[in-house]
Amino acid sequence: MNNALLLKSLLVLPFVAAVIVYLAGRISLRKEKDWGFSVARALTVFVLLVEGCLLFFGVRMALQSGGLYLDVGEITLMLDGIGLLLIAVVLFLGLMVALFSVDYMAGEKGEEKYYALLLATIGSVIGLGLSFDLFNLWVWFEAMAVSTFLLVAFYNDQPPSLEAGIKYLAQSAVGSALVLFGIAFIFSQTGSTDFVDIWQGATQNPKVMLISGILLIVGFGVKAALVPLHTWLPDAHSQAPSGISAMLSGVVIEAGLLAMLRSLSFFGRVEFNWGATLLVFGCLNILIGNLLALRQTEIKRLLAYSSLAHVGYMLVGFGMGFWYGQANGAGGGFFHLITHSLMKGLAFLAAGALLYALHLQNDEHVPLTLSDLNGASRKYPLAAFALSVALLALGGLPPLAGFMSKWQILAAVASAKNTLMILVVIFVGLNSVLSLGYYAPIVNRLYRRETSPAVENGKPIPVMMVIPLVILVLALVVIGLWPASMDFFTEKATSSLLFPFFY
C-alpha cells in the first residue's frame, strides 16, 4: 500500500461507512426488522478496527520514509506526530464508545443516525489531524462541530437536550467565525494558508500576525473549553448520550486544543510570548474548573467541569514548551492529553453504565446524581470499581496514569528554577489536592453500606458495556506502572510542535 492510498483510506473510510450505516438503519426502520441496526453496530466496530490497522501501517511507513505526505490539489495532508497522537486517541476511544453503545443505544429513537454521526465525528477528527493547511484544518473543525452538535442534541424531543445543542452550536459558530477572521488576516499577509508559507511570512507584519494568533486562540479556545469560553461544556456533557459525553471530553476538547497548538507552532517567528498566554489560561482553567466542580450534584456535570481543570494541566505543560522551548513540558502536556482521554472516557462510560442500570432501563430520562450512587458497589461492583479507578486517576493518585502525567508536567515546570515557576508548581499541586474534594466523596458514596432507592430498583448492566470499562481500567493501570509506553507518541508529537519542520 502506497502513501496516497493509505492516507486516502484513513480519511475516507469512516465517511463511506457512515453512509452505509445510516442507510442500513433506515432500511431496518422501514422493514420493521432489527437486522439493519445489527449491521450498523457491527460495521462501526469493524471499521474502527480497520482504521487502527491502517494507522499502524501508516506509522511503519512514516518511520521508513521519514513521513507521510499527500498533495490533493492545493491541499496537503500529512501524518506527523501531532496527527498520529490525535488519530490514535480518537480511534481507541471511539472503539470503546462503539462497543459501549451496542446496548446503551439499542432501541433508542434515532439509533440509525447515532452510529453514522459517531463515524462522521471520528472521520472529521482524523481529517483535522492530517491537515497541514490552516483553511483545510478549519473545514474539518467545522465538520466536527456539526456532527457533534447533532449528537449533543440527540434527544431533541427533550427541551434541555435541544437547548444544550443550540448553545453548543451557537458558541461553536462564534469560535469558528473568529478562526476564519484570523485566517483572513493571515492570508492578507502571506497570500497562503499553508503552514510553511505562514512560517516564512510571519515577520512581514508582526502586529497583524499577532492579532491573527489571538483570534485563533480565542476561536479554537471555544472548543478547547478555555475559561471563560467554556459555558457550552456542562450542558453538552450532561445532555448528550454517555458515549458522546466521553467523546466530547476525551476527544473533541483535545482536538480543539491541538488545532490551536498546531497553528501557534507556525507563529514562532512572531515575537510574542505565546507560552505565557497558555500558562495563564492553564492556571485559570485549573482554578475555575475545580471550584465549579465542587458545587455539582449531577455526576456528568461534575465530570464536565473537571475537564476544565485537566485542560488547564495540559496548557501548563504546553505553555512551558512554548515559553522555554522545553520538550519535557510539552511532552507532559501530550502525555496528560492521552491519560485524560482514557480517564475521562472511563469515568463517563462507567457513569453511563450506572445511569443505564438505575434510570434508563426504568424509562426514566433523569440525570445521575451523587445520591443515586450510594451503595452502588454492592449491586454493581465492576462499574463502581471502574468509576473509582477513573476518579482516583483524575485526582492524581499513584500508581495510576493520571499521577504520572501530572508529575511530568510539575517536574518540567520546577526545572525552570525561578520563583514564578515554583509558585506555579505550588498552585497546580494544591489544586490537584483540591480536586480530591469532589472525587473522593463520590468513591465514598459508591462503597457505603446503605443503598439508594435507585440502586435497589436498578437493572443489570449488559456485558457489552462492561468490556470497554475493563479495557480502560487496564490501560490506566498499565500506563501508570509503565509510563514509558507512551514515549513514542509524546516524543513524536513534541517534535512536531516545537520543531515542525524537523519531524
| Average pLDDT rounded to a whole number, residues 442-447 | 94
| Average pLDDT rounded to a whole number, residues 120-142 | 91
Confidence at 352, pLDDT banded by 50, 70, 90: very high
Looking at 5-14, 56-65, 136-145, 451-460, which range is the least confident one? 56-65
What is the DSSP secondary structure assignment for residue 67, as one 8-state letter?
-
Average pLDDT score over the chain: 87
Instruction: Write down the pLDDT at residue 502.
Output: 46
Confidence at 10, pLDDT banded by 50, 70, 90: confident
**For residue range 366-418, what is the model confidence (pLDDT) as tens digits?**
888 999 999 999 999 999 999 999 999 999 898 999 999 999 999 999 988 88
Does residue 425 surpass a pLDDT of 80? yes
| Cα end-to-end span (Å), the chain | 22
Phi, psi of 133 (to 5 degrees): -145, 130
Return the CA Rg of the chain: 22
Instruction: Write down the pLDDT at residue 15.
Output: 94
Q: Round to whole Å and give the CA distance between 131 and 394.
A: 31
Instruction: Write down the pLDDT at residue 79.
Output: 84
Name which residue leads in pLDDT, 50 or 195: 50
Confidence at 206, pLDDT banded by 50, 70, 90: confident
> Domain residue spans in the chain?
274-503
Element housing 75 (H / E)? strand 75-79
Does residue 270 surpass a pLDDT of 60? no
Q: Round to whole Å and give the CA distance between 288 and 312.
A: 10
Instruction: Write down the pLDDT at residue 74.
Output: 67
| Average pLDDT rounded to a whole number, residues 327-349 | 94
Give the residue carrying C-alpha cell 444544550: 164
16-25, 84-93, 154-163, 489-498: range with highest mean pLDDT: 84-93
Confidence at 503, pLDDT banded by 50, 70, 90: very low
C-alpha cell at 219: 476561536
Does residue 194 surpass a pLDDT of 80? no
Nearest Cα residue to 287 out of 326, 261, 313, 262? 313
Residue type for 199, please? W
**For residue range 74-105, what is the model confidence (pLDDT) as tens digits?**
677 888 889 899 999 999 999 999 999 999 88
Does residue 30 surpass a pLDDT of 90? no
Please give, one letter per residue, the 3-state secondary structure of 380-443: CHHHHHHHHHHHHHHCCCCCCHHHHHHHHHHHHHHCCCCHHHHHHHHHHHHHHHHHHHHHHHHH
